[in-house]
Amino acid sequence: MGKRKIDAPATNGPDMRVNLAGIAMKNPVMAASGTFGYGKEYAPLVDLNKLGALVVKGISLRPERGNETPRIVEAAGGLINAIGLQNPGFDGFTKKHLPFLKKYKVPVIVNIWGRSAEEYAEVAGRFDGVRGVQGLEVNISCPNIKRGGIAFGTDPRLTAEVVAKTRRKTKLPLIVKLSPNVTRIGEFARIAEANGADVISLINSFPAMAIDIETRAPVLANVTGGLSGPAIHPIALKMVWEAAAAVEIPVVGMGGITSEKEALAFIIAGAAAVAVGTANFTDPGIILKVVKGIEAYLVRCKLKSVRELTGSLQLS
């Protein structure tokens, strides 16, 4: 990639819109799954209409109880969680939570998971044609459940099977969320693309654990969990860069965004959009601050559109 030409200054402010395989977003910043509930929880504090998109907590066919407690523990610059995908199931979500979200103009992306490739496909099929849902994010990377989740995202054959079967069941834009727990992320990105993914998102939280040295017992009831937050950003950045280089489809970058700086780094590395997770807990206003920060950066760099920034990494 050559040196970027500096365009004429923007007149009405930079164009922040991005389109992810048909999901039209007013800006490239979304709320990451599992960190924004089903929207309602943060609605008193954050104008949901200003988010690029809202990805809801992972939904499965039937309700799931998730793991025992304790489920979260803080680490240096991060958070280890083992929620275990507690959720109200397809019916619970569409009856109890979706009607609330439909009142907003924010694109709603449903994060889905299952315990077998068939279950993934079945949930995806059920969401097809459900009004108020603009896309599906297929979580093949949850580190916190014994069957399903990460097992699918770390085995090339299973990744291919889940994505292909899910693809056949839905016309909705399909975002496949990759696991960071692999050596060659580009390979998994390509498999997802080849089997029908419209978009790739990464990274999910990183397998991790914490030990209480007084009791010599694991802190989390599940023993291990997933690390998220600032600590994982540099790892996520490398993976997003590699994945973006491997595929033609858009990439959503996430992992440790706490300001526009990390978000911009993901975009420069090749991401078309980004998602903010753990930082919502620290500062519920963070997504809108990241949006403003990106906008200010575009103005400062005299870029007309955020889309010009995607993949603008300068490699000499």
Partner 1 sequence: MQTETASVIEQRSLGGDYRVLEFASSKVAPRVKPGQFIHLRVDERNELVLRRPFSVFKTGKKSLAILYKIVGRGTQILARLRPGDRAGIMGPLGNGFPLPASQTFPLLAAGGYGAAALYLLAQQARKKGIIFIGGATADDILCADDFKKIGWKVKIATEDGAAGQKGLATDILTEYLSEKSKMRQMALYACGPMGMLKAVAEIAVKNGQKAWLSLDRRMGCGVGACLGCVQKVKDGKSWKWARVCRDGPVFECRQIVWENGKWEKEK
Please report, as ranges, the residues that interact with partner 1 according to CB under 8 A.
34-37, 41-42, 44-45, 57, 65-66, 69-74, 76-79, 81, 83, 86, 215, 217, 229-230, 258, 278-285
**Residues 287, 263 contacting (CB under 8 angstroms):** no
The residue with its CB nearest to ligand FMN is: 34
CB of 190 to ligand FMN, least distance (A): 20
CB of 266 to partner 1, least distance (A): 17
Q: Which does 258 bind (CB under 5 to 8 A by kind): ligand FMN, partner 1, none?
A: partner 1
CB of 260 to partner 1, least distance (A): 14
Q: What are the CB-based long-range contacts (under 8 Å, 24+) for 184-188?
A: 184/242, 185/239, 185/242, 185/243, 185/246, 186/242, 186/243, 186/245, 186/246, 187/156, 187/246, 188/153, 188/156, 188/159, 188/243
Instruction: State yes or no: is 301 an active-site residue.
Output: no
Cβ proximity to partner 1: between 227 and 243 the closer is 227
Q: Following DSSP, what letter does each residue of 275-306 receive, concatenated? A: EE-THHHH-TTHHHHHHHHHHHHHHHTT-SBG
Q: Which does 255 bind (CB under 5 to 8 A by kind): partner 1, ligand FMN, none?
A: ligand FMN
Alpha carbon of residue 282 to chain centroid: 18
Q: Which does 134 bind (CB under 5 to 8 A by kind): partner 1, ligand FMN, none?
A: none
CB of 56 to ligand FMN, least distance (A): 8
Cβ proximity to partner 1: between 121 and 279 the closer is 279
**Residues 70, 215 contacting (CB under 8 angstroms):** no
Please, what sign has the CA dihedral across residues 55, 56, 61, 65? Answer: positive
Cβ proximity to ligand FMN: between 14 and 78 the closer is 78
**Residues 70, 105 contacting (CB under 8 angstroms):** no
Pick the catalytic residue from 16, 82, 108, 142. Answer: 142
Query: Tokens in use for 219?
Result: 């802190």
Instruction: By CB under 6 A, name the binding residues for ligand FMN.
Output: 32-35, 57-58, 79, 81, 83, 85, 111, 139, 142, 177, 204-205, 228-229, 232, 254-257, 276-279
CB of 288 to partner 1, least distance (A): 12
Helix, strand or coil, per DSSP, at residue 127 = helix
Helix, strand or coil, per DSSP, at residue 313 = coil
Q: What are phi and psi of 143, to 5 degrees?
A: -80, 0
The catalytic site residues sit at 142
